[in-house]
Amino acid sequence: AQSVTQLDSQVPVFEEAPVELRCNYSSSVSVYLFWYVQYPNQGLQLLLKYLSGSTLVESINGFEAEFNKSQTSFHLRKPSVHISDTAEYFCAVTGQNFVFGPGTRLSVLP
């Protein structure tokens, strides 16, 4: 069985500050890892994913995540956030099944 933990349900941060959204997983098989973003009243959009190769993956809007197998983590980071980054962020893993974390609400404050 697989599981995903997002320890922070809410993360408030000021504009232009750095942010890290934490994601840890457990699995008995090899996994693929994903981050999705959900803006208010919209569906989920794929932000970035790790399938293989370089453990550091980047999105087009400045987010990055690093796969750390020894720590079973896939934390999402951005060095400087914008108001428009305010959204819900979901970490997900797939191996045997596709499993989503509970989500982290990022609120960027002016």
- Report the interface residues with other proteins, using CB under 8 A: 32, 34, 36, 41-46, 49, 51, 90, 92, 94, 98, 100-103
- Least distance to other proteins, CB of residue 13, Å: 20
* Residue closer to other proteins, measured from CB, 68 or 80: 68
Q: How far from each other are the two terminal CA atoms of the chain, in whole angstroms?
A: 41
Strand intervals (E) in the chain: 3-5, 10-14, 19-21, 24-26, 32-38, 44-50, 56-58, 64-68, 73-78, 87-94, 98-100, 104-109
- Least distance to other proteins, CB of residue 17, Å: 25
* Residue closer to other proteins, measured from CB, 92 or 106: 92
- Least distance to other proteins, CB of residue 72, Å: 17
* Residue closer to other proteins, measured from CB, 32 or 77: 32
Residue type for position 37: V
* Residue closer to other proteins, measured from CB, 6 or 108: 6
- The half-sphere exposure of 41 on its side-chain side, counting CA atoms within 13 A, is 0
Contact 74, 7 (CB under 8 A): no
- Least distance to other proteins, CB of residue 102, Å: 4
